[in-house]
A and B are shown apart, each in its own frame.
Chain A
Amino acid sequence: MGKFQLLIVVMMCMVLSGCWNQTELNEVSITSATGYDRANGKWEVTLQTIVPSAMAVGTNGGPGGSGSAVHVFSTKEKTIQQALNKSNLENSRMLYFAHNNVIVIGREAAEEGINEIIDLYLRTTESRESVYVLLTSTKASDVLKDLIPPESLPGVALAHILQKEGDMSGYLPPIKMYELAKKITSDARSAGIPEITVTGDGGKSLESLDVFKKTSSSEKLKLSRLGVFHGDRLIGWMNWQESFGISWMSDKIKMSSISFSCPGPKSNNNYSSFKIKSAKTKVTPIKKGNEFTMQLKVKAGGILTESSCLGDFSDPKYTREMEVEIEKQILNFINIGWKAVQRLQADLPGFAGYVHRKYPKDWNEMKETWEENELGEIKLDVHVKAMIQHPGFFSKVFNSEGK
């Protein structure tokens, strides 16, 4: 067969078989967030889909559409996939999950177990396991209906809130689907998922575009607590201080801020704040007899951003005293976190992994009873080293003579 004939055959193959999985952009319904609720033994899947025409930029500049940028609807069925499939009854477009930013799990679903959700995300190709996971103490469908001013896409906004919060504060560290799957199947079997709540008087003001016309809304979507999972089930909650302590223990802090009282007598309410630029935690399990001690070496470096202390910051002795105060604060958070760990019997810092790696034989004996017995008996040996790298532009408190 000549080259020319071969070319024709190839061209014919192209024409005959081509375009089989082609989807034009105006035929897909891009989901920005998905919610999973459980009711009466059925999955209720809520989809927050983007309405592109509302996002179109008009010729005069600025958002052109007047309608809402997202459309939310829910479907109910025995399995998640079937529920999604049932959405074809009401949705004109093909669901498209690659740009799903965040999934929200309702409380009932979380208490019954989330293995099915994780299975779905890991099994199929179109849904990404790098999606952020959120928990809500109410129904996920309620959260997804709410807008987050000034963002037009709440799903994207939620992902941004999580990402920024994790990078800048570390109070409630965000978790992605694959991290969640890894954590609940690890030795520690525990994971923490940030909770999103609607604060306020329980009205529905966030569900309307009118919220963009106001300067302040009585309701707000907000990260509030950390939901603690053991296995695939929700077992309890932690407040942000406890969660922050866990973040210190598990080396999750990237940047954060800590306020501390001034060295010396504690009578006055003089506080300063320390902006952490770098933090590192090193965990070493040490076995003494039958007891385990976790040695935590925490290092934090940063700058002084605010102060009302009367000392001289150019004096190394004084800054050292301030550093000690910072160290106390960090230690305090760690202790609060550790108490929460013991209260919930959930190994959020992942100490089980360290023990397993260093003492594999001992681990084999106690892995069944780790949370109930051994975890509670572990002693913490925390060494915090904080360092003020520079005190800012001046070395004394502003207007120190005037005080």
Chain B
Amino acid sequence: MSIFRRSKKTDKQMKTITNERELGPSEDDEAALSSSLSDTISILRSRIGLSSDFIIRELGDKIAISYIEGLVDQKQLSELIEALIAGHAQFSSFTHDPAEHLKSIIPIGGIHAANTVGLLLTAILSGEAVVVIDGLPGAITVSISGGIRRSVQEPSSQTVVRGPKEGFTEEISTNIALLRNKLRTPELRIVNRTIGRYTQTKVAVIYIEGLANPEVLDELFIRLDSIDTDSVLESGYIEEFIQDKTFSPFPTMINTERPDAIAGNLLEGQVAVMVDGTPFVLVLPVTFFKFFQSSEDYYQRYDITSFLRIIRLFSFFIALFLPSIYIAVTTFQQEMLPTTLLISLAAQREGTPLPALLEALLMEITFEVIREAGVRMPRVIGPAISIVGALVLGQAAVQAGLVSGAMVIVVSFTAIASFVMPNFNMASAVRLIRFGLMLLAGVFGLFGILAGAVPILVHVVSLSSFGVPYFTPFAPLRFSNLKDTVIRVPWRAMKTRPSSISVQNKVRQSTFNKRNKESEGE
């Protein structure tokens, strides 16, 4: 029995998608190639068109080589051409497998035979060279892809103080290599899919055999295979297609550009989805508390980590509730404040023209605008925005009497608190919900906040990520999993993997004893 529920609606949607399949760019991809060199060349010419970077080079009248300039490595290309010219004579004489023959004469791996137009096009467009020999059916593809790519750098979105400084790049093979370096086990499985009719993007599903839940894998492959879209330019496309619930601000997948984070997640039995062309790799299934964990948590001492996690959860609540609580308490439930605090707040509010709700909304929106500007604008203008932001949000607004000083403190603390969360997805969710809560607080006071918070909690508890309840291990309560949620226990106590995610091979390590080795020797 499957743990996944899929409504009839999605089935119907999938059917319509299959009906639209004809709209794609492929026409006669399945057609076999003829043995005539000129025929093959003309087919390629007609399909790829007169693009200036598409090159067909005829070596004599028997052999042609075709590739896309910029996608191939120039050095390997010249080696290939040299070998082809040198072995020119032999090609005409033999009749059996030409690919096998080519393998024996050139020192390049990745040589395959291609029989259909579709395979040939895919090979050319993904940076391989195609060798066509007159009189032989089909063509030979040689993988000499290269060209410009970014080197492995420190991840810019998820930084750590202690821990590996390498981050994923846009190149999927580099990324897989980075992961292989960390997990030297034959059980590491990488299953490829190609998604996107125009982009033909490589999507790799990565997991550790024996740790990952087979049911999750099956469901993931079903969902991935159901995607029929024209393009996948970033893992965000995949995330939106395969997530459990569309209408939810809460992310049900984590993205990270840190190989060590992915390795750690795979070892807990999670599955990673890597998309070519982006350094952001998806991890699933995840629970709510995963969003408050940073890979650094496992490199630092457990007590500090536990403290930091509590700080992060605290910041989560601050970022979610602080402005609305401020609005509610200052406009409805003034009796909740200590007298002196109330008086100092009242003193600051003297002469401010706007009601607290509008004031808070104004400041929050101003902050969001400044934040967005900070992300989008050219790096060169960076300092300008911070000056304007600090002046507009802070001093000037207070001095002009537009907003009260306390409101500036509330808004800035909220803003800073929302950046504490290690995962930006969750921070965005919080930002969105915050505005709703502020409106509720402005209308109903603390009662309104509660009326907003309870449905949010209900929603979060009802969510699931690939069959794993989102709020585990708290709802449903699983005591053994609590050791790595709000707090982190020392490594020696982390004997089992989280049982909500990994269903098989639960034991992580044997009981640690400083004299383990010695006792074995006895």
Is A8 engaged at the interface, CB distance under 8 Å to the other chain? no
How far apart sit A16 and B151, CA to CA, in the bound complex (Å)? 58
On chain B, the residues within 8 Å of A57 by CB distance are: 344, 347
How far apart sit A385 and B123, CA to CA, in the bound complex (Å)? 100
Binding stretch for chain B, among A24-32, A77-85, A241-249: A24-32
A125 to chain B, nearest CB (A): 10
11 contacts between A and B (CB under 8 A): A15-B443, A21-B332, A21-B445, A24-B355, A25-B342, A30-B342, A56-B348, A56-B350, A98-B335, A99-B339, A99-B342
How far apart sit A32 and B332, CA to CA, in the bound complex (Å)? 19
Assess whether A52 is in contact with B349, with CB atoms less than 8 Å apart: yes
The interface size bin for chain B is 20 to 34
Contact A52-B331, Cβ < 8 Å, known A24-B355, A26-B349, A26-B352:
no
How far apart sit A396 and B107, CA to CA, in the bound complex (Å)? 101
For A19, A22, A28, which residue has the most chain B Cβ atoms within 10 angstroms?
A: A22
Assess whether A28 is in contact with B347, with CB atoms less than 8 Å apart: no
How far apart sit A50 and B339, CA to CA, in the bound complex (Å)? 11
Contact A26-B351, Cβ < 8 Å, known A19-B442, A57-B344, A101-B339:
yes
> Which of B335, B339, B349, B444 has a CB less than 8 Å from the CB of A25?
B349
How far apart sit A32 and B331, CA to CA, in the bound complex (Å)? 19
Per-residue CB contact flags for chain B residues 349-373 toward chain A (1 = under 8 Å, else 0) read: 1111001100000000000000000
Is A18 engaged at the interface, CB distance under 8 Å to the other chain? yes
On chain B, the residues within 8 Å of A23 by CB distance are: 331-332, 334
How far apart sit A156 and B342, CA to CA, in the bound complex (Å)? 13
For A26, A32, A128, which residue has the most chain B Cβ atoms within 10 angstroms?
A: A26
A25 to chain B, nearest CB (A): 4
Other than A25-B349, A30-B342, give 9 A-B pairs with Cβ distance below 8 A.
A18-B442, A19-B443, A25-B330, A26-B346, A30-B343, A53-B350, A56-B348, A96-B334, A99-B335
On chain A, the residues within 8 Å of B442 by CB distance are: 18-19, 22
The 3 closest A-B pairs by CB, nearest first: A98-B335, A18-B443, A52-B346
Residue ranges of B at the interface with A (Cβ–Cβ < 8 Å): 330-332, 334-335, 339-340, 342-352, 355-356, 399, 439-440, 442-445
Assess whether B339 is in contact with A156, with CB atoms less than 8 Å apart: yes
Assess whether A24 is in contact with B342, with CB atoms less than 8 Å apart: no
Task: Count residues of chain A with CB under 8 A from any CB of chain B.
Answer: 29
Contact A55-B339, Cβ < 8 Å, known A24-B356, A96-B334:
no
Q: Which of A55-105 contact B (CB under 8 A)?
A: 55-57, 59, 96, 98-99, 101
How far apart sit A156 and B347, CA to CA, in the bound complex (Å)? 16
Q: Smallest CB-CB separation from A26: which chain B residue?
A: B349
On chain B, the residues within 8 Å of A18 by CB distance are: 442-444
A200 to chain B, nearest CB (A): 28
Q: Smallest CB-CB separation from B342: which chain A residue?
A: A99
How far apart sit A277 and B189, CA to CA, in the bound complex (Å)? 72
How far apart sit A29 and B166, CA to CA, in the bound complex (Å)? 60
A152 to chain B, nearest CB (A): 9
Contact A25-B331, Cβ < 8 Å, known A53-B350, A101-B339:
yes
Assess whether A32 is in contact with B356, with CB atoms less than 8 Å apart: no
On chain B, the residues within 8 Å of A19 by CB distance are: 442-443
Is A153 engaged at the interface, CB distance under 8 Å to the other chain? yes
Assess whether A50 is in contact with B343, with CB atoms less than 8 Å apart: yes
A270 to chain B, nearest CB (A): 45
Q: Smallest CB-CB separation from B247: which chain A residue?
A: A3
How far apart sit A98 and B332, CA to CA, in the bound complex (Å)? 12
How far apart sit A59 and B344, CA to CA, in the bound complex (Å)? 14
How far apart sit A30 and B356, CA to CA, in the bound complex (Å)? 18
Assess whether B443 is in contact with A25, with CB atoms less than 8 Å apart: no
B73 to chain A, nearest CB (A): 54
How far apart sit A52 and B356, CA to CA, in the bound complex (Å)? 17
